[in-house]
Structure 1
Amino acid sequence: MTSDDIAVLANPLAGRGRHRGLLSQVLDRLGASGRTVRLLSAASAEEAEKACHRAVAEGVGALVGFGGDGTLHRTVQAVAGTTVGFGMVPAGTGNDFVAGTGVPSDPLAAADAIADAVRTGRATEIDMARVTTAEGDVRWFGAVLAAGFDAIVNERANRMRWPRGPRRYDLAILLELARLRPRDYSLVLDGVDHSFSGVLVAVGNCASYGGGMLICPDADPADGLLDIVVAGPLGRGAVARLKPRLRRGTHVTDPAVTSYRAREVKIASEGIFGYADGERVAALDLVVTCVPGAVRLLR
């Protein structure tokens, strides 16, 4: 690959495949930039991430993801902290990073915007969150890291083989609500201890997760800060009542909910795996750092 090439990672199954037929049109639209467009080949998520790293190492000019937040998570591991242009064509069920960064929600419009940005040399610097695990591994995310009840639900849903589709997540919520209990968290924000006992922890670079739930409604991916939202001890009924308010972002006015802003977040608790952009990252303890302008977004 050359510095003029555009490499594309496509997940045809994203969004339950509803945009699968658009891939050829997306590639054509990207080709209007005048650059050679190359589709990366991968048979698994791990291979996809390796293919992205390989493309960046070979000097590709831009890396584009065609899919949802899972595709974002794979592609951004390769481009974060580099000067390679990065574009997202939304084709998933969530697309929370796209929504939070002003990328067009229509796939073809997003592809046109990327092509124009490449052609004119236009890019917008966007913050990303860098996660360092207890083992010293580094992962990046663009939208939100969950480390409370929602992360526990994700972990449960991933272990379930039935039912398929969204109903599996709904069932996981009911099962975890039945065993809901507050957990003790060590939470250190820019060196200041804010440890607490509670049920909800989210660290946001963007405002939403889960396809539009405004968990960190005031998060701005260009302000150099992370938004942290936590909730103290809540019973099952209180959590169930709080959930619908996430769509409007009004949960942050609840007396049990506290919001912070920080550049660095150190979070620890026993028995919890953090999930970022909907993907399993690692067991807590985690250190999350905002890296200003970590990606050059083509939009």
Structure 2
Amino acid sequence: MTSGDIAVLANPRAGRGRHRGLLSGVVQRLESAGHPVRLLAATGAEEAEKACHRAVAEGCAALVAAGGDGTVHLALQAAAERPVGFGVVPMGTGNDFAAGVGVSLDPLAAASGIAAALAGAGPVPIDLARAVGTDEEARWFGAVLAAGFDAIVNERANRMRWPRGPRRYDLAIFLEMVRVRPRLYALEIDGVDLGFEGTLVAVGNCPSYGGGLRIVPAADPADGLLDVLTALPLSRSAMTRLKPRLRRGTHVTDRRVRTFRAKQVRLHSDGIVAYADGERIGPLPLEITCVPGALRLLR
């Protein structure tokens, strides 16, 4: 890639493909910044992440993720703590990171914002979270890490081969609801032991996950802190009643829900695989750290 290009990681299948026809318009808007635009070629997640790393190493003027939170997650691994502008063109079903950092949810408007920032005001520093497991490999995330019932559902859904589409996730929820039980968590927040028995755990840099579920509604991706939410043991009926409140963020007033703010979180529970930005991170334990200003956001 020629130095000074705008490198774009685009996922045409994001958002079930409903924005696929906008990609040429997105490229035109980005070109208005005065830099050539290059689409990164990739056939899978691993190849896409490597392409992003190559683009940054070769000196691209900006790295842009055009897709949903999964596409953003892959690109973040290359842009975190690097001197490159990072743009998001939200084209997914959830777009929780874009919403959390104040990016327009209109893809063409978001592309225009990236171009204007490149040509003028420049990037805005945004915090990211870094998760490190027992393998000592760091994974960055921008929105929310889940390590409770929701992560268990994700792990089951990923193992299922039928049905396809959203129905697979719905079936996974039903199957896990039948056997929902509280788990013991070792939780350390800025060195303080807050271990508990419960059902939900989330660590957020941004407020929402799952397409607008405001699990940590007060999270601010520019305050240098992570927001942590835990829920004490919840029955199936209590979880059913609590779920509608997630969209409004009013679940945090429930007496069984606790919230904290932290620079660093250590978390462990046997048999739990954590997910962040909707992507599989790996099994607990994890050490999660807020890294202030780790991303140079163009918006």
TM-score (norm 2): 0.99
Give the C-alpha shift of residue 244 in structure 1.
1.0
Give the C-alpha shift of residue 251 in structure 1.
0.6
- Aligned residue number for residue 150 of structure 1: 150
- Aligned residue number for residue 261 of structure 1: 261
Would you say the 8 A contact 1:40–1:51 is kept in 2?
A: yes
- Aligned residue number for residue 38 of structure 2: 38
- Aligned residue number for residue 92 of structure 1: 92
1:286 aligns with 2:277: no
Paired AA for residue 293 in structure 1: G
1:103 aligns with 2:103: yes
Q: In 1, Cα distance between the equivalents of 2:265 and 2:89?
A: 30
Unaligned runs of 5+ in 1: none
Matches within 5 A, 1:205-224: 205-224=205-224
Q: Deviations over 1:9-68 (max 9, x none)?
A: 000000000000111111111001110111100011110000000111111110001000
Paired AA for residue 69 in structure 1: D
Would you say the 8 A contact 1:266–1:285 is kept in 2?
A: yes
- Aligned residue number for residue 9 of structure 1: 9
- Aligned residue number for residue 193 of structure 1: 193
Would you say the 8 A contact 1:15–1:92 is kept in 2?
A: yes
Secondary structure of the structure 2 residue equivalent to 1:266: strand
Provide runs of 4+ in structure 1 moved above 6 Å: none
Moved more, 83-92 or 161-170: 161-170
Provide the alpha-carbon RMSD of the alignment.
0.7
Q: In 2, Cα distance between the equivalents of 1:119 and 1:36?
A: 13
Q: Deviations over 1:76-113 (max 9, x none)?
A: 00000111000000000010000001100100000000
Give the C-alpha shift of residue 165 in structure 1.
1.4
Paired AA for residue 262 in structure 2: A
Secondary structure of the structure 1 residue equivalent to 2:108: helix
Give the C-alpha shift of residue 4 in structure 1.
2.0
- Once the two structures are aligned, what percentage of the paired residues are identical? 68
1:26 aligns with 2:50: no
Paired AA for residue 273 in structure 2: F
- Aligned residue number for residue 227 of structure 2: 227
Q: Deviations over 1:104-126 (max 9, x none)?
A: 01000000000111111511000
Paired AA for residue 11 in structure 1: N
TM-score (norm 1): 0.99
- How many residues are matched? 299
Q: In 2, Cα distance between the equivalents of 1:167 and 1:99?
A: 25
Would you say the 8 A contact 1:2–1:61 is kept in 2?
A: no
Q: In 1, Cα distance between the equivalents of 2:208 and 2:83?
A: 26
Paired AA for residue 65 in structure 1: A
Unaligned runs of 5+ in 2: none
Paired AA for residue 34 in structure 1: G
1:64 aligns with 2:78: no
Secondary structure of the structure 1 residue equivalent to 2:97: helix
Q: In 2, Cα distance between the equivalents of 1:81 and 1:18?
A: 32
Q: In 1, Cα distance between the equivalents of 2:45 and 2:4?
A: 26
